[in-house]
């Protein structure tokens, strides 16, 4: 609509300037200034739209990158938590391996003096240490690339 209006305005100014050359100089300069301002405002509007769209796209890409990094961090934490939960489960089950080390039933028939000396010497703890060391050694033998010392 502005284009049609400006076309008719320029046509009117041209016709007026043809009949009166003094009048036409001021009107033509004013029209040029007005037209220049209109074109500049349209260019500024288009530039503002372009920069707004560019800023929106860059903000979106930045948010996507930060979200992807957060997802990778959460994945690492999830894997680490799963491994630690597995280790806790394995270590809590390790206590049941030592339930077979209870030798109190084997010592029931011995006299009390012998049991006293065995308790004072610490034979029960010594046997527990030896059996534990053997269990750990056998367990390490099952792991590949740890057979360096045997």
Q: Give the pLDDT band of residue 3 (cuts 50, 70, 90).
A: low
Asked if residue 122 and residue 142 are part of one domain, the reply reads yes
Q: What is the DSSP string of 103-114?
A: -TTTTTTS-HHH
Q: Which domain holds residue 109?
A: 102-150
Six token digits for residue 94: 């390790």
| Half-sphere exposure of residue 13: CA atoms within 13 angstroms, side-chain side | 17
Q: What is the DSSP string of 22-74?
A: HHHHHHHHHHHHHHHHHHHHHHHHHHHHHHHHHHHHHHHHHHHHHHHHHHHHH
pLDDT digits (tens, 9 = 90+) for 61-88: 999 999 999 999 999 999 999 999 998 8
Asked if residue 81 and residue 34 are part of one domain, the reply reads yes
Asked if residue 112 and residue 72 are part of one domain, the reply reads no
Best mean pLDDT range from 58-72, 82-96, 106-120, 130-144: 58-72
* Residue that terminates a domain, selected from 66, 92, 118: 92
Question: Tokens 């527990």, residue?
Answer: 128
pLDDT (0 to 100) of residue 122: 87
**Are the beta carbons of 98 and 132 closer than 8 angstroms?**
yes
pTM for the full predicted model: 0.41
Asked if residue 61 and residue 14 are part of one domain, the reply reads yes
The answer to whether the Cα torsion of 73, 77, 78, 83 is positive or negative is positive
Residue 133 lies in a domain: yes
Percentage of the chain with pLDDT > 70? 69
The total domain count for the chain is 2
pLDDT (0 to 100) of residue 139: 81
pLDDT (0 to 100) of residue 53: 93
């Amino acid at each position: 609509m502005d284009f049609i209006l400006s076309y008719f305005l320029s046509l009117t100014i041209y016709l007026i300037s043809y009949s009166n050359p003094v009048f036409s100089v001021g009107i033509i300069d004013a029209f040029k200034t007005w037209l220049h301002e209109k074109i500049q405002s349209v260019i500024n509007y288009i530039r503002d739209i372009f920069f707004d769209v560019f800023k929106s796209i860059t903000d979106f890409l930045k948010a996507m990158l930060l979200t992807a990094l957060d997802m990778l961090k959460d994945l690492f934490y999830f894997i680490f938590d799963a491994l630690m939960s597995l280790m806790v489960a394995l270590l809590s089950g390790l206590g049941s391996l030592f339930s077979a080390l209870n030798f109190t039933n084997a010592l029931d028939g011995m006299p009390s003096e012998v049991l006293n000396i065995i308790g004072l010497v610490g034979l029960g703890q010594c046997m527990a240490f030896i059996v534990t060391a053997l269990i750990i050694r056998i367990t390490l033998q099952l792991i590949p690339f740890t057979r360096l010392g045997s």
